[in-house]
Amino acid sequence: MKAFYLSPVLIAVLAGAAPYSKMSPLSQYLMNRQEEIDLARSAAPKAISSHATVLVLTASGYETAVEGTNGFTCLVERSWTKAFDDDNFWNPKALPPVCYNAPASRTVLPYTIFSTNLALAGATEAKIHERMNAAIAGKQLPLPENGSLGYMMSKNQYIDDHVKAWYPHIMIYTPKALGANSGESWGADRKDSPVVYDSNHLVWPQPWAVFFVPVARWSDGTSGPEL
């Protein structure tokens, strides 16, 4: 029998529940400034995050709260950075802290800034998708540099309602233009391989493959879930 892909959104609709079908009031996405700085820094070990630039979300977009010295940028992303078929796209509870290294700060972070500015301006999910596609086609957004890396090792991260904190992990970004748009090129999702390739979402226009590598400890050094 032929298998058919059902997106999380369609599953939610068929089940009669789509709790995050539109953006919630802006106040639900905003945090106390110091709490957001602390949460952002928890994405990576202190030896990295204590010297990183830290961004915080305001009603007009992300702004620099702390100037760093090591090229890393730490921030708490919001749900509208998810794939465009994700049923948690507007979930205000989703608070995934991430620390990007210098290459990712230059070439991955701009996508977060782009979608955030549109969301705060009132754009719908469909409009953000459309505008991102156009920006990529017009080369207004960059390809990720080789070596682009993100740390997501916060014990207090909330990725979505399905996986909650998942595992402490790092993310490796590779341009799809180099042919690394499937897990095979990294040995991902193979028996006993630590590398995970997210192929569950089909509506993801960003021109990269992202590989997740779960690690044993949270950023504070405590043990994570058993791998």
C-beta of residue 171 within 8 angstroms of C-beta of residue 133: no
What pLDDT shows up at residue 116?
Answer: 98
Q: CA 13 to CA 85: how far, in whole Å?
A: 12
In angstroms, the Cα distances linking 119 to 93, 135, 194 are 16, 15, 34
Q: CA 40 to CA 75: how far, in whole Å?
A: 5
| Assigned domain for 136 exists | yes
pTM of the model: 0.87
What pLDDT shows up at residue 156?
Answer: 98
In 10 A of CB 3, how many CB atoms?
A: 5
What pLDDT shows up at residue 192?
Answer: 79
Q: CA 173 to CA 204: how far, in whole Å?
A: 14
Mean pLDDT for the stretch of residues 38-56: 98
If one counts the domains in the chain, the total is 1
Token pair recorded at residue 69: 């010295």
| SS3 category, 122 | coil
Mean pLDDT for the stretch of residues 91-117: 98
| Assigned domain for 61 exists | yes
What pLDDT, in 10s, does the model give residues 135-148? 999 999 999 998 99
DSSP for residue 173: E
pLDDT for residue 173 is more than 70 = yes
Which residues span the domain enclosing 18? 11-214
Q: CA 76 to CA 83: how far, in whole Å?
A: 17
C-beta of residue 100 within 8 angstroms of C-beta of residue 150: yes
Q: Which residue shows structure tokens 């042919």?
A: 179
More confident position, 80 or 8: 80
| Assigned domain for 221 exists | no
| Range of weakest confidence among 25-39, 55-69, 171-185, 206-220 | 171-185
Q: What are phi and psi of 37, to 5 degrees?
A: -60, -45
Mean pLDDT for the stretch of residues 190-194: 78
| Assigned domain for 225 exists | no
Residue 97's pLDDT band (cuts 50, 70, 90): very high
Q: CA 48 to CA 131: how far, in whole Å?
A: 34
pLDDT for residue 172 is more than 50 = yes
| Assigned domain for 27 exists | yes
| Assigned domain for 3 exists | no
| Assigned domain for 70 exists | yes
Cβ neighbors of 1 (< 8 A, separation 6 or more) are none
What pLDDT shows up at residue 12?
Answer: 47
What pLDDT shows up at residue 218?
Answer: 98
| Range of weakest confidence among 151-160, 175-184, 207-216 | 175-184
| Assigned domain for 150 exists | yes
Sign of the Cα pseudo-torsion (123, 128, 130, 133, in order)? positive
In angstroms, the Cα distances linking 176 to 78, 105, 151, 193 are 24, 18, 21, 21
| Range of weakest confidence among 171-175, 189-193, 200-204 | 200-204
pLDDT for residue 127 is more than 60 = yes
pLDDT for residue 27 is more than 90 = yes
pLDDT for residue 3 is more than 50 = no
C-beta of residue 97 within 8 angstroms of C-beta of residue 59: no
Mean pLDDT for the stretch of residues 173-177: 77
Token pair recorded at residue 219: 């950023």
